[in-house]
Amino acid sequence: MITAVDVIRTKRDGGELSTAQIDWVIDNYTRGEVADEQMSALAMAIFLNGAGPREIADWTAAMIRSGITLDLSEVGKRCVDKHSTGGVGDKITLPLAPLVAVFDVAVPQLSGRGLGHTGGTLDKLESIPGFDVNLSEAGVVKQLKEVGAVVCAATGDLAPADKKLYALRDTTSTVESIPLIASSIMSKKIAEGADAIVLDVKVGSGAFMKRLDQARELAETMVRLGADHGVDTRALLTDMSVPLGRTAGNALEVRESVEVLAGGGPADVVELTVALAAEMLAAAGQPDADPAAALADGRAMDAWRKMITAQGGDVDAALPVAAETEEITAESDGVVTGMDAYAVGVAAWRLGAGRARQGQPVQAGAGVEILKTVGDPVKAGEPVFRLHTDTPERFEAAKESLVGGWHVGAESAERGPIVLDRLS
């Protein structure tokens, strides 16, 4: 007979969990028979002692089986999904999904909400008046057939074990574990039923993985899990030491994404959007497609307008703006030599763009505008950041989080490469 206490003890003492133990614990946790405190102890034991490839594969398979698997065969196109491990200013899904849909590839982006310092795609899109993130399975299939791209909330029936476990990990400091992250992401993605998955594995201060070797191990683990389940899975390792683009915050990031779709926008956001689109299109059998052209000539913008309209959003409505702004200025002349993604993410969160607990509302207009980033010259007294919030009492805490998070120096500086490595 398997008991929760035995399973926890096995992992606590550095042992290997059997397939039967893993199946039992995931099934009983999903049904509420294993208590949250028992699962917390097990998550911490895995966090501290790790898990081997067979255990990770079994854990992922059990989480997939905890719920339904979407059937996207009716869509009649190649379905390719992208997932980012989470970062600051990471708005890439917004321009990327419609861009890839231009090429008659279906992009089902079942996304999450922000928690802590990393933003959530659903929170960003909900800043567009009228936009609805709650679609039924039939609604997802219909929109993929007609529009090609959908960005919506994952239903509670997809990998429900992960939904419970992720919330628990968030409150027990057990998120940053390679076995737990890999199984969490891949169970949801595989249950979504896409033919191929492209992973954007972030590395740096604003990411869960701070070092390249950790990020590579996470990416390799996820690529292997995808292959085990017959899903073509590729990964890019990308820099998250500096925020992506010039904004972190919900409506602020939508505005920047629309600039990218209009053929402009920050160079790093454009570069990563095109790199991920090329990977997705290659996985869909179109290695020679030219996503940069579709972004520059307005075809991706047309697809964006269709996608937003299909989900009830008013593409022409003004986006919400925060009630108050405040600027942070440079104290000396020089060049911006450092801009820490984590510091900016925490500032945006404290301004009201993010939530401390699941279920809390977020402010659509809150966040940080980065007016000068790495490599930009700046003069004493010139603004480097513009902070936005509806609740000005938050300014002080946001400013505190930026102290030491950016630097102006005499030497020149350049933003390093965005794409650091590729795995398939």
Contact 203, 238 (CB under 8 A): yes
- Is residue 181 part of the contact set for ligand URA (CB under 6 A)? yes
Per CB under 6 A, which region of 181-189, 218-226, 388-396, 404-412 contacts ligand URA? 181-189
# binding residues, ligand URA (CB under 6 A):
8
**Best CA proximity match to 52, nearest among 182, 186, 170, 185:** 182
- Ordered strands of the 419-423 beta sheet: 80-84, 196-203, 232-239, 419-423
Nearer to ligand URA, 45 or 336 (CB): 45
Phi, psi angles (nearest 5°) of residue 185: -65, -50
For 78-111, letters b (16+ CB in 10 Å) and e give bbbbbbbbbbbbbbbbbbbbbbbbbbebbbbbbb
Nearer to ligand URA, 197 or 260 (CB): 197
Nearer to ligand URA, 42 or 181 (CB): 181
Q: How far is the CB of 176 from ligand URA (least distance, A)?
A: 8
Per CB under 6 A, which region of 174-182, 254-262, 280-288, 323-331 contacts ligand URA? 174-182
Q: How far is the CB of 221 from ligand URA (least distance, A)?
A: 12
Nearer to ligand URA, 131 or 166 (CB): 166
Per CB under 6 A, which region of 42-50, 177-185, 268-276, 366-374 contacts ligand URA? 177-185
Nearer to ligand URA, 182 or 284 (CB): 182
- Positions annotated as catalytic residues are 83, 162, 169, 184, 188
Phi, psi angles (nearest 5°) of residue 283: -65, -25
Q: What angle do CA 246, 201, 125 make, to 5 degrees?
A: 50
- Is residue 266 part of the contact set for ligand URA (CB under 6 A)? no
Per CB under 6 A, which region of 12-20, 173-181, 196-204, 272-280 contacts ligand URA? 173-181
Q: How far is the CB of 415 from ligand URA (least distance, A)?
A: 25
Q: Give all strands (DSSP E) within 204-320, no chain letters.
A: 232-239, 247-249
Site for ligand URA (CB under 6 A): which residue of 24, 47, 166, 304? 166
Please give the DSSP secondary-structure letter assigned to residue 279.
H
Nearer to ligand URA, 219 or 308 (CB): 219
Contact 377, 338 (CB under 8 A): no
Place of tokens 């033919």: 195
Structure tokens at 296: 């520059």
**Best CA proximity match to 125, nearest among 230, 30, 253:** 253
Q: How far is the CB of 256 from ligand URA (least distance, A)?
A: 22
Q: How far is the CB of 184 from ligand URA (least distance, A)?
A: 3
Site for ligand URA (CB under 6 A): which residue of 30, 38, 184, 221? 184
Q: What angle do CA 203, 48, 236 make, to 5 degrees?
A: 20
Site for ligand URA (CB under 6 A): which residue of 56, 110, 185, 225? 185
Q: How far is the CB of 363 from ligand URA (least distance, A)?
A: 23
How far apart (Å, rounded) are the C-alpha atoms in residues 124 and 252?
A: 8
How far apart (Å, rounded) are the C-alpha atoms in residues 272 and 274?
A: 5
Contact 365, 249 (CB under 8 A): yes
How far apart (Å, rounded) are the C-alpha atoms in residues 142 and 216?
A: 36
How far apart (Å, rounded) are the C-alpha atoms in residues 58 and 23?
A: 8
Per CB under 6 A, which region of 16-24, 49-57, 180-188, 242-250 contacts ligand URA? 180-188
Number of residue whose CB is nearest ligand URA? 184
How far apart (Å, rounded) are the C-alpha atoms in residues 100 and 276?
A: 9
Nearer to ligand URA, 114 or 148 (CB): 114
Per CB under 6 A, which region of 89-97, 150-158, 178-186, 279-287 contacts ligand URA? 178-186
Q: How far is the CB of 416 from ligand URA (least distance, A)?
A: 23
Q: How far is the CB of 340 from ligand URA (least distance, A)?
A: 20
Please give the DSSP secondary-structure letter assigned to residue 68.
B
**Using CB under 6 A, which residues numbered 80 to 139 contact ligand URA?**
85-86
Give the footprint of ligand URA on this chain (CB under 6 A): 85-86, 166, 175, 180-181, 184-185
